[in-house]
Amino acid sequence: MPEELYELETAVPENPIEEYLRMDRMPHIWCPGCGIGTTVNCFARALETSGLDLDKVAIVSGIGCTGRVAGYVRLDSFHTTHGRAIPFATGLGLANPGLKVVVYSGDGDLVAIGGNHFIHAARRNVDMTVILINNMIYGMTGGQVAPTTPIGATASTAPHGNFEETFNLPFLAESCGAVYVARWTSYHIRHLTKSIKEALAKRGFSFVEILAPCPTLYSRRNKLGDGLEQMVYYKDHSEIRNGADTKSVALDFQGKIVVGKFVDRERPTYLDAMNEHFQKRLGDRYVPSDEMRQILHAQNRN
C-alpha cells in the first residue's frame, strides 16, 4: 500500500504548493496535457514532506521543455546549457557539500547530448538527485527523434518511423552505479511523490525516470490522442514491479510499462570516498575544504 503522504483538505485558500513555485513566473510555457507540470507538483509535495531546509536545496536544469522547471521552482535555481546540468551540479555540490542538489531535465538533455555526464556522475556516485522527464521526443524544438523514442514511433526527423534501439534508462543508471533507480509515469502521482522523497533522502546519485505525455508533438504525430488518452494508456499498461531486474524494463511503442523502485543500495559517495582516501593516505596533512570540514566535524560529533 502506498504511504499516505498528506492529508486531504476540503477547502484551502490557495494551492498549497504555491510556496514552492515562483508564482510571479506563471503562467508556465507547457502545453495543455503535458505531463511536466504534474511531476513538478509531485516534486513540490516531496519537498514538503522531505524535512529539507529549502534554503539549502538547489535545482539545476539543462535545456528543453523540462529544462524550464528550474525557473519555476522557488529554490536556488540554475538553468544551464544543453546537456550540462549534471556537470554544473557536480561543481555546485562539491564546492558546497551542505547543499542538496537536484537535477531536473529531459531525456534528450540528460541522456543524448548529456549522456556522458550522466554516466560519469553515476559512476562517481556524486551526491545528487536526477529527475528525468521522458516524453520520448525533443519537445521544445519540434518533435525530433530522441534516444528514448520507441522503435516504430514517428518523429519529425524520423518521418518514416524510428528504427534505432531505444535507451533503457533504469538499466543504464544501474549499470553506471546509481544507488537509487525508480521509474514512474505522470499518472502515478502518489508513488512518484514517495519515490522523489526517497531519492532526495538518499546520499549519492539517485535517479527517477518519469514518463510524461507530450500531446503536442509525440502523441499527435503518432495518433495517440491527447494527454488524457496517454494517461489512460499509462494506467492500463503500467505494471508495478518493485525490484525488477532493470535489464527487463525496456520500453517499446505503446507496450507494457514496467514501473517501480528497481534499485536501492549503498555505495560510498564521491566525497565520502575522497575524504576517506585522503585521510588514510595523507593523515593530518589533509586539509578538507572549509565546508567539508564543517560537515565532517558534525558527523564526528554525532
**Which residues are at the interface with other proteins (CB under 8 A)?**
22, 24-25, 54-56, 58, 60, 70-71, 74-81, 83-84, 86-96, 98-99, 116-117, 119-120, 278, 282, 285-291, 293
- State the minimum distance, in angstroms, from the CB of residue 205 to other proteins: 14
Instruction: Identify which of residues 116 and 299 has a Cβ nearer to other proteins in the complex.
Output: 116
Nearer CB in complex with other proteins: 176/182:
176
> Cβ neighbours of residue 173 under 8 Å, at least 6 residues apart?
118, 122, 181, 205, 207, 209, 246, 263
Distances (CA, A) of 80 to 57, 85, 150: 17, 6, 28
Q: Which is nearer to other proteins, 83 or 150 (CB)?
A: 83
Nearest to 87 by CA among 75, 74, 78: 78
Q: Is it true that the peptide bond before 288 is cis, omega within 30 degrees of 0?
A: no
CA pseudo-torsion sign 78, 81, 180, 255? positive
Q: Which is nearer to other proteins, 90 or 125 (CB)?
A: 90
Q: Long-range contacts: 219-226, Cβ < 8 Å, 24+?
A: 219/33, 221/143, 221/154, 221/155, 221/156, 222/153, 222/154, 224/254, 226/33
Please name the amino acid found at residue 262.
Answer: F
Least separation, in Å, of the C-beta of 56 and other proteins? 5
Q: Which three cell numbers stand for residue 219?
A: 502523441
Cell of 289: 575544504
Nearer residue to other proteins within complex by CB, 264 or 291: 291
Cβ nearer to other proteins, comparing 120 with 190: 120
Q: Considering only CA atoms, which of 36, 35, 43 is closest in space to residue 17?
A: 43
Minimum separation from the CB atom of position 28 to other proteins (A): 11
Residue among 62, 59, 6, 66 nearest 34 (CA): 66
Provide the greatest CA pair distance for the chain. 65
Cβ closer to other proteins: 42 or 126? 126
Instruction: Provide the minimum distance between the beta carbon of 300 and other proteins in the complex, in angstroms, as a whole number.
Output: 18
Residue 29 CB, shortest distance to other proteins, in Å, is 10
Q: How far is the CB of 295 from other proteins (least distance, A)?
A: 13
Work out how close the CB of 241 gets to other proteins at its nearest, in angstroms, rounded to a whole number.
Answer: 32
